[in-house]
């Protein structure tokens, strides 16, 4: 049996970005595990910035347990196996001096968080992914390309690459959605790693519709992911039509490592 590992930054990214293809892999007989990195449950108090997001999500108290349950329901609907690490989302992380990594509710999460390096976090995430992969032994690993430059996407991508690029396991990066509908730039990759071709993979109606049905489980996120009066489904479909007028599609890039191939 083919084993597939998808490393998702947040509790929805794998499904929103690459859920149709993951479902297709599962239907073809592959075992597909989705490992969400930043799924840790924070303890109050919360920063003003985090509370602002809670208000947008329409949840009271600690929102992460609800989001985890949403993710489990969405992944199981696609015949994918959920696994959740306990690293905190950038909204809940603190600086060494005890201050918030994301403190200003008027500035974007990434503009604040990317001003600070997090070497201890990166080392811990990299070890966690390496250990998980050593036990699971995947044939191929997918993770995000970090399009949109969200700090957690960037951290998850680079930790995955750092953990696995030298192992010889096939690595592919999915296009981050819905960010990819309005941005295309990919942040710099770690040293020694380069992109190969972009592959646009057409998706049939069964897998497309399964993805859109699974997305509806992320009740707390749907309003946030809608934009300019368009639902998330409409946004994703519109973006797919820029590449194909006849079929829904999702995109990935391959990676090569000088160490693995040298």
**Count of the separate structural domains present in the chain:** 1
d(CA 66, CA 151): 23
d(CA 119, CA 255): 23
Q: Taking residues 33-49, what's their average pLDDT? A: 96
Reference 18, options 139, 112, 145; nearest CA is 145
For the chain, give the mean pLDDT.
95
The SS3 assignment for 7 reads strand
d(CA 2, CA 25): 9
Residue 259 has pLDDT above 80, yes or no: no
d(CA 90, CA 153): 10
Domain limits at 170? 3-261
CATH (domain of 153) = 3.40.50.10320
> Which stretches of the chain are DSSP H helices?
13-27, 48-57, 64-77, 109-113, 119-136, 151-164, 205-215, 222-225, 232-241, 258-261
pTM value is 0.96
What's the pLDDT at 80?
98
Residues 6+ apart with CB under 8 A from 261: none
Going across the sheet that includes 140-144, the strands are 81-84, 31-36, 3-8, 140-144, 170-174, 248-257, 193-203
Q: What pLDDT, in 10s, does the model give residues 106-122?
A: 999 988 998 899 999 99
Q: What pLDDT, in 10s, does the model give residues 202-213?
A: 999 999 999 999
Peptide bond before residue 45 is cis, with ω within 30 degrees of 0:
yes
d(CA 247, CA 44): 45
In this structure, the number of other CB atoms found within 10 A of the CB of residue 261 comes to: 7
What's the pLDDT at 213?
98
């Amino acid at each position: 049996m083919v084993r597939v590992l998808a490393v998702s930054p947040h509790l929805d990214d794998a499904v929103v970005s690459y859920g149709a293809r993951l479902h297709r892999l599962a239907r073809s007989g592959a075992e597909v595990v989705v490992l969400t990195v930043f799924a840790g449950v924070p303890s109050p108090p919360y920063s003003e910035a985090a509370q602002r997001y809670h208000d947008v999500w329409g949840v009271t108290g600690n929102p992460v347990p609800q989001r985890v349950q949403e993710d489990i329901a969405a992944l199981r609907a696609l015949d994918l196996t959920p696994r959740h690490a306990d690293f905190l989302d950038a909204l809940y992380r603190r600086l060494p001096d005890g201050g918030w990594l994301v403190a200003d509710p008027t500035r974007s999460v990434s503009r604040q968080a990317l001003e600070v390096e997090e070497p201890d976090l990166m080392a811990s995430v990299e070890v966690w992914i390496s250990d998980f992969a050593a036990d699971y032994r995947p044939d191929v690993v997918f993770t995000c390309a970090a399009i949109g430059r969200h700090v957690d996407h960037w951290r998850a991508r680079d930790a995955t690459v750092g953990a696995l690029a030298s192992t010889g396991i096939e690595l592919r990066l999915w296009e981050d959605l819905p960010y990819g509908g309005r941005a295309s730039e990919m942040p710099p990759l770690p040293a020694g790693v380069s992109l190969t071709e972009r592959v646009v993979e057409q998706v049939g109606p069964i897998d497309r519709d399964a993805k859109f049905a699974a997305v509806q489980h992320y009740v707390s996120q749907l309003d946030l992911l809608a934009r300019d009066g368009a639902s998330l489904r409409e946004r994703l479909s519109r973006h797919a039509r820029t590449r194909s007028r006849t079929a829904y599609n999702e995109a990935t890039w391959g990676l090569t490592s000088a160490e693995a191939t040298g």
